[in-house]
Chain A
Amino acid sequence: MLSIIKSMSLKGLEGYIIDVQVDVSSGLPEWEIVGLPDASIKESKERVRTAIKNSGYELFSRRVLINLAPADIRKEGSYLDLPIAIGVLFSSKLIKNINKTLENTAFVGELSLNGKINKVNGILPLCIEAKRLGIKNIIIPKGNLKETTILKGIKVLGADNLNEVIEYLYGKVKLKEKRCTWEEISKKQNKYAIDFMDVKGQENVKRALEICAAGGHNILLIGSPGSGKTMLAQRLITIIPDLNLEESLETTKIHSIAGTLKNDENLIITRPFRSPHHTITISSLVGGGKVPKPGEISLAHNGVLFLDEIAEFDKNTLEVLREPLEDKKITISRLNQTLTYPCNFMLVASMNPCPCGYYGCSYKKCTCNQNDIKKYMNKLSGPFLDRIDIQIEVQRVSYDKLDANEGESSSKIKERVSKARKIQELRYKKENIFTNAELNPNQIEKYCKINEESNQLLKIAYQKLSLSTRAHNKILKIARTIADLEGVKNIEKRHIAEAIQYRSLDKKYSE
């Protein structure tokens, strides 16, 4: 007998319905799975057979053929165990006369040998897509229930083991459903464990980071070892406005696919902070694999990607960041499929000013010659630096400042940042962008108008400090953000003057 059970799968973030077609007929006893399954799906027949046996049903030796339609897409993962098991049970007539229609029901889950249903990755995007494709009920592993609590318009049911699912189909038990609202989740916001208050001194860098957060600018921190670059960078996420529901869903979707959700998390409500080690490969940075998985840049979606010691990264690895930094998404092409993941992140990079690390340091002498320093700085290509708006030097805090009174708290800074972001949102309503950092040259001309006095200043700065031409637009963008932070409508001379201060590479290392 033939039975067709619905399940779901993902192509990147896009879902599609899989029809798990199971036919049990007389013939040589064997199990065959067709429809481009990968090794983990091929193995599922052993799990399914044993799980069914251990759930108290006896399978007879028959020929079992399983087709995963559409048959031309390669499938991967163990989440089809549950629908296969249900299909086999139906086709073997071990369950019949159920009082539920399976027309609009999908099954997703991995089986243990004892019939227990295990957690799988990617449940949140699966459920969202299932809803879009008209599925009314979806049965998922109980362990995944938490991430789907926010969804409306689809019944998400969590099952603990195979028997529970069968009993549900007979209408004997009700499966667990979990619901909560965005307000409840966001209220639970376990505040960041870190705060800008922990950083003593470093007012200049803090100001630069505030501007970064307000305008969505990328930043490069240059400083000697132990000056606090990492500590400062980590705290950037604490001053960016909180995630809204839409952003939170997007971020959680990606983490759900990658399997990096924590057990006690409903949705990700704190902005992600990813800091990959400098030995990272290209495919783990941007995403990859036979069936492409999201990389670090996508995991940092709506958050911060921190590249510590950026000069030590492989040059080719850094260059691949160029397009994603512009497009805010990454398209990965592999033999089998081409996927697109979003990656709207803020880049924070840090590096030493020279090979020995102490160029420009106030307490230790640099042992490098000018050539070494130049060579070291050249490790970052021009086009890459073009995508970093703010460059600032970090100086170690002297000992007597360490016990100085505490600085501003993150929440205070966040208030100012939120205000500035609102101004930008309003201004760019028609442009389909949100922050100053995203302005293109045409938009810069439109929104960053400066008066004659400021223009004169920029001109002088060019001549005196031999600024590079590429710095021009960056300075205007930063000045725009500074003006927004102040709540001023037009960019004034003082904003330009301050903005130029955040281009230290242009000022000091350009010759």
Chain B
Amino acid sequence: MGICIISGLAKGIDTVAHINSMYEEGKTIAIIASGLNKIYPPENNVLSEKIIQNGGLILSEWEPDEPIEMSRFPKRNRIISALADLILVIEAKYRSGSTITARYGFKQKKEVACIPGNITQKNSYGTNRLLQEGANLVMSTKDILDLLGYEDNKEVELDGRFKDVYDNLCALPQTVDEISKRVNKRISEVNEILFMLEVDGLAESLPGDRYIRCMKSTI
């Protein structure tokens, strides 16, 4: 779809975002808080090379040999938010770096979106607070595309028995047994269909032999 993912090359969700954007054959931008010759964390050196090879961009406001200084990390986030059309916060603790990016986003009049979480969960404190302050609530890839203004009118075209199973999948993980009961089909057939859906990116299997619906197909 040509959506470029911007992140900070840090550990965790940053790394995941960069890797997956390349995996999906998209380009990606990493904005770092030190000189271009001083990648932090060092284990992402390889990743930074891959990003360039893939036609992506590593961006820094500092001179190439500028050392790594922790105090500069939060400030770097203003560039991330400035370059983006939409800021999506997956998880954020109380006083997290991603909250800072989101705040910059509010200031810069960007769209900010969060994935909600359980209020008792530490990692959801920041995102839930942002939601309270007016961020958009996102539950699926479709929501993100809506925010970015992409039209989504491609319906999944499936033949009868596949559609049956697909329609019974949702965001809540279900076991094969439950699905087979719902669609009233034999286990062997459900297993076969689920696999075909998985290959087509319409379903995803989770540990514990449970399946959820995948929104990828709507893209």
Contact = CB atoms under 8 A, between A and B. Distances in A.
Interface of A: 201-204, 206-207, 223-224, 353, 359-362, 392-395, 457, 460-461, 464-465, 482, 494-495, 497-498, 500-501, 504, 507-509
In the A-B complex, the 9 residue pairs with the smallest Cβ-Cβ separation, listed nearest first, are A360-B208, A360-B207, A393-B209, A497-B192, A501-B191, A497-B195, A204-B176, A207-B187, A498-B192
Given A203-B187, A361-B208, A395 B175 contact: yes
B188 A498 contact: yes
Given A362-B175, A395-B208, A498-B188, A461 B199 contact: yes
A224 B210 CA distance: 14
Interface in B173-219: 173, 175-177, 180, 187-189, 191-196, 198-199, 201, 205-210
B208 A359 contact: yes
Grouping DSSP codes into helix (H, G, I), strand (E, B) and loop, the B interface class, with mixed when no group exceeds half, is: helix
Contacts of B180: 203-204
B166 to A, nearest CB: 15
B207 A393 contact: yes
Contacts of B201: 464
For this complex, into which size category does the number of interface residues on chain B fall?
A: 20 to 34
Contacts of A203: 176-177, 180, 187
A481 to B, nearest CB: 12
27 contacts: A203-B176, A203-B180, A204-B175, A204-B176, A204-B191, A207-B188, A223-B208, A353-B208, A359-B207, A362-B175, A362-B208, A393-B208, A395-B209, A395-B210, A461-B199, A464-B198, A464-B201, A494-B192, A495-B192, A497-B192, A498-B191, A500-B195, A501-B194, A501-B195, A504-B205, A508-B206, A508-B207
A370 to B, nearest CB: 11
Given A501-B176, A504-B209, 13 more contacts: A203-B177, A206-B187, A360-B206, A394-B209, A460-B199, A494-B189, A495-B192, A497-B191, A497-B192, A498-B188, A507-B205, A508-B206, A508-B207
Nearest to A461: B199
A232 B193 CA distance: 25
Contact of A204 (B187, B193, B195, B207): B187
Nearest to B190: A204
Contacts of A461: 195, 199
B85 to A, nearest CB: 30
Nearest to A207: B187
Interface string B95-121: 000000000000000000000000000
Contact of A498 (B173, B175, B195): B195
Interface in B139-189: 173, 175-177, 180, 187-189
Interface in B9-34: none
A52 to B, nearest CB: 68
A204 B199 contact: no
Contact of A392 (B188, B206, B207, B209): B209
A421 to B, nearest CB: 18
Nearest to A211: B188
A225 to B, nearest CB: 13
Nearest to B172: A362
